[in-house]
A and B are shown apart, each in its own frame.
Chain A
């Protein structure tokens, strides 16, 4: 008897935990069959290694919904799913959105690998998707239904290579890449090609170290890099692993500047890295101190009023993904997925919060990059770089 009662308790606790999980991700999806609604599937990592990124983008999407709750007289409903920072779960989550929830369009995700997992699913279903901060070129390449409001890594990698060569005067660079992350590997490739072109020296990349997503100890890789004595270290990757990497580098007395990319712009990067991340330089999409368009002001005012803090770049991008979809539906005059897709493909000169968006033939935005650094534990604007 005692055994059974304890088992019952366990089952109860488990079911509570499970319902808590599912309700937190599904409670937005309340059906209202009497009224016609436009459904936007929101496809983001809410748990796992990328959860902080997902949370910042959800803020932007929800803010946009508050400001623009309707399109063509129909209310817009958000269906949020958690892709759990995992490629397999991402495919399941995307399938749920297109098959079960029958969304008109998809927004997301933070993380190129996750977006790439959803790519074939939205294409087969004929549902247009707008990527937020996924920057790997392969997300939209060969996929007529995937668009994005951000620039791509081929641009971002080139920007950072130029920064290392021209501003830092580096001639030898070491690289640390997260080999299980398409975003990191892609950026490293574009950086490497550009840097070798700039220096004209195939040996200017003195060392390439690898790590896996979720690794905590980087001392061995860093010790190897220290002995090569590079002028700069390019280490794009997840913010939590990167923060630990840089912290451990400082403990090993590596004073070489670290360069990274947009993923670093999360509060956790500074919290985990502490003083060690001061002086790191990275490229990103947007800075709240330098509004780029009239829509930036609208977004910044609303964000500051609601959250009482400064928004991250990815929050602005997620906001842009939402308002771009609203704009495309208005231009199409219909919420039919195929009509949205055609309208999206023709986007040009659209004022987003994070800059003017023109989509090229692949569905990628052509826009400026911003370079930031960290000073005394605060993200600080350095400069803006326009596409060539």
Chain B
């Protein structure tokens, strides 16, 4: 393999990895606080892409307005899902909440099939992102520059919120013990709503970037990225925000590199991700960053 081909693979892997990372942050943040794997995260991600689609094609919004509207509405949608599907089960065993999460996920998917229809739609990509930069024989679509930047910016902002603000302090308190947090005068329900809101807005940002890169919208679009982000979160140590980013990059990069170096294994690309999940759960269940307990949100 020539050096240029290798760099091309590297650039592809970086973009895919940062997309996984961005979705994984939302996953891991909700887990960190509620100890709940939010299976509906991938579907919330899907909803954001459809909001942009309808915003641009039906309400004729400029693309940046549609993006902002999608991020806000998706945040509200996430809070709504928490209200309806998770809050009533706050004091139930964790397994009930998990089943409720799976139910919420199926419900959103099937409602989306009924409302949006099963035929694929094309995500309205702003012309700006359709450009491609050339370095020698290496081509990098503009989106590939943006995705890692957006992911890292989101990471920094999120770490700031969690570690430097009062709300963040309350989040960390709730994640340790929410009975005790409640006794300290923290409104636990509000904090959890805020967490879901932020997590869902991150899913929306991920959804928009995903749409720009892979403009094929179907109601089941969120399932695979959702699962991959979950795997990324587990690799990094679920509950750990920085770990999720590292996990996302690792997963994206290894998916690309397995095809680059072992083309005959291409068909097993998804299987590889799941094997990785099983291996991590067997040999290092706390994930790569798992020992870093104080970092947990």
Contacts and interface: CB of A to CB of B under 8 A. Distances in A.
Interface of A: 2-3, 6-7, 9-10, 13-14, 17-18, 20-21, 24, 46-49, 51-52, 55, 179-180, 207, 209-212, 214-217, 219-221, 223-224, 226-227, 240-241, 243-244, 247, 251-253, 268, 271-272, 274
A251 B139 contact: yes
Contacts of B139: 251-253
A244 B141 CA distance: 14
Contact of B5 (A10, A47, A51, A227): A227
23 contacts: A17-B110, A24-B114, A46-B118, A47-B118, A48-B218, A49-B120, A51-B117, A51-B120, A55-B119, A179-B267, A180-B267, A216-B216, A217-B255, A219-B9, A219-B16, A220-B12, A220-B255, A240-B120, A253-B134, A253-B137, A271-B121, A274-B122, A274-B215
Interface stretch (B63-71, B156-164, B229-237, B258-266): B258-266
Interface in B250-279: 255-257, 259-260, 263, 266-267, 269-270
Contacts of A216: 214, 216, 224
A267 to B, nearest CB: 9
Contacts, number: 124
Interface residues of B, number: 48
B259 A221 contact: yes
B88 interface: yes
Given A209-B263, A224-B263, A244-B216, A268 B122 contact: yes
B107 A224 contact: no
Contacts of A10: 84-85, 103, 107
Nearest to B260: A220
B1 interface: yes
B256 to A, nearest CB: 5
B114, B120, B263: which has the most chain A beta carbons within 10 Å? Answer: B120
Interface of B: 1-2, 5, 8-9, 12-13, 15-16, 84-85, 88-89, 103, 107, 110-111, 113-114, 117-122, 125, 130, 132, 134, 137, 139, 141, 214-216, 218, 220, 224, 255-257, 259-260, 263, 266-267, 269-270
Contacts of A274: 122, 125, 130, 215
B122 A14 contact: no
Nearest to B223: A214
B252 to A, nearest CB: 9
Contacts of B15: 219
Nearest to A3: B88
Nearest to B264: A210
- Lowest 5 A-B CB distances belong to which pairs? A51-B118, A47-B118, A220-B259, A219-B12, A271-B122
A226 B5 contact: yes
Contacts of B215: 244, 247, 272, 274
Contacts of A46: 118
A215 B220 CA distance: 12
A7 B88 contact: yes
B214 to A, nearest CB: 4
B260 A214 contact: no
Given A7-B88, A219-B16, A226-B8, 12 more contacts: A6-B88, A21-B110, A21-B114, A51-B120, A215-B269, A217-B12, A217-B255, A219-B12, A219-B256, A220-B13, A221-B263, A227-B5
A10 B101 CA distance: 12
A210 B256 contact: no
